[in-house]
Structure 1
């Protein structure tokens, strides 16, 4: 990522409790010996009493201790030894069927591993491994392979186990998704976990993290919107979405170039369209978002629309934070929200601010 900005910029971000610097900068207060996140709600120090650090290790090495109020060594900092050890193994062999016995064979305590992954990712390692295996099966089925081949690729011991896991994720049995369809569902890997993309030949209709609890319900609702015309596979839109995600996570492109179809009420679409106008590297509160759509009294309705967004990252609901600068609920997990804001901090000083224009049919393309 980028190096630290100058002290004046950082101090302004501290006073404003700017969440764009989450994971990118910390402040040490010389009068107390404590270091904090820039979003910490504590009373702000004078500029001359501030020292700036890129990470918690640097602050500790300089003799500062972490703030108990904002926990600057918390979720934003990957420091779990078990996480650092197991993630490369999962990435190298996503089809492996892991068990607690496997963890013990590696000299790891399953309970410690479970707590560490829950802190970092909001789910256990075994849950992440199961999702990765299911992803392998989805990729196989979407290419037209036989169900038994998909079952073996996914590492499930029985066909019924694979179908049950598939149905929990999609709300449909795998065979039902192999029929001819206008929309195609496929798996996309990302640094923050597997994602399901559903697209036709011209528009992206859904992009969700596979471990989101509301994903099956969202898929069923989308199926209702399009009268069940959802199958497996991908289109050029899926490929373009995957290419943009790769560029986004690698710091090459904050501006979205994927055309989307918004399925929702006119009010929901209005909220989602306004979300798309928030440039990468900036954040809004729910109240500010309500003001921007000329509905200042509809803060709760705006929050509900934010929560029902089915186009993760493309419609950037992660850019909405609490009025006090705190991290508020995110359906994909607060750990993802923190990392996304950290990633997008690099775009703030660039020229990739996204703007757009809304069409009358609810279609929206950032340009």
Structure 2
């Protein structure tokens, strides 16, 4: 994707997130360089220059902006929050309160804001979901409800029942007829992703900043008649390991099971995506021809656009008929980076 400096400058004025990861803008008068989405006041056109990576900017004497922090991975989870999440995973009855955060020199307000922004709930609500997810699975496997309540940190069964119903949507006694989908935020070099998994396999893998991500969650919840709850799953470790190998260039296909929800036509489109070899691309027209319906270009494009399992079902390998990168919900810059990583010859 070749860009003019004028287009890059305009994108910075507009704080256009589609250009994240494609270029960095350096300001001659201040000696700093920024992301395209930096909120700092924009300089005049004659006072800037552009770089395709941060290394070049540093080599030319620029230092990273303290506002947009261009050396950090986009939306990366801070290490202190990762540490908190690891503690929760290791101790299912743990309740981290504000006073515990203060002992760790962590401001409770900062934690609250981060979780509201990135998970749509407070840290305390997140902890409740995590505990109830674990409790649900234990009860589902036949463990005693009272014992599970005590293990979850509750002294009374009534309090446990109330919280359980608030989170899961049913009482502990009715877990047999209830299903949940596990949800976890995972880190990648191109930004964090939300992963959802059911008993059959991974059913959502999306970048957290994807537009209408809530709509994807709602569709999945409705299709499976299940609640999406924060928690661990037997497939998440395998998924994270395979994604790490993929981004390191050591993996060309994924073995982690996936579970697709959609119409028969959509599933055919998604299955066909998995048959595009790594380092190759196809057009929407070619995909429709492979399906035996050359006129279904628009329908194929629509199905691609609502694919819920990014990277593993590689909708990024489908491009426009003129070779342009179009139609990627995770951002065109990510589509470019994924294709570059896979060795696709496009530019």
TM-score, normalised with respect to structure 1: 0.53
Q: Give yes or no for contact 1:75–1:119 (8 Å, CA) kept in 2.
A: no
Structure 2 residue aligned with 1:249: 244
SS in 1 for 2:306: helix
Q: Relative to 1, partners in 2 of residues 1:65 and 1:223: Cα closer, same or farther, differing over 3 Å?
A: closer
1:111 aligns with 2:109: yes
Q: Relative to 1, partners in 2 of residues 1:149 and 1:206: Cα closer, same or farther, differing over 3 Å?
A: farther
**Runs of 5+ in structure 2 lacking a partner?**
9-16, 188-192, 227-232, 289-293
Q: Relative to 1, partners in 2 of residues 1:139 and 1:249: Cα closer, same or farther, differing over 3 Å?
A: farther
Alignment partner of 1:206 out of 184, 191, 203: 203
How many residues matched? 291
SS in 1 for 2:198: strand
Q: Relative to 1, partners in 2 of residues 1:111 and 1:223: Cα closer, same or farther, differing over 3 Å?
A: closer
Distance 2:181 2:2 in 1: 40
Structure 2 residue aligned with 1:52: 53
Q: Give yes or no for contact 1:103–1:110 (8 Å, CA) kept in 2.
A: yes
Q: Give yes or no for contact 1:188–1:195 (8 Å, CA) kept in 2.
A: yes
Q: Relative to 1, partners in 2 of residues 1:100 and 1:240: Cα closer, same or farther, differing over 3 Å?
A: closer
Cα deviation, residue 92, structure 1: 1.8
Cα deviation, residue 76, structure 1: 0.3
Q: Give yes or no for contact 1:248–1:254 (8 Å, CA) kept in 2.
A: no
Cα deviation, residue 255, structure 1: 1.1
Distance 1:321 1:134 in 2: 43
- State how 1:77-116 maps to structure 2 within 5 Å: 78=76, 83-94=78-89, 95=92, 96-104=94-102, 106-116=104-114
Cα deviation, residue 313, structure 1: 5.4
Q: Relative to 1, partners in 2 of residues 1:84 and 1:329: Cα closer, same or farther, differing over 3 Å?
A: same
Greater relative contact order (Cα < 8 A, sep 6+): 1
1:348 aligns with 2:335: no
Structure 2 residue aligned with 1:276: 274
Distance 1:314 1:269 in 2: 14
Distance 2:145 2:194 in 1: 21
SS in 1 for 2:262: coil
In angstroms, what is the RMSD of aligned CA positions? 5.8
**Runs of 5+ in structure 1 lacking a partner?**
1-11, 225-237, 351-367
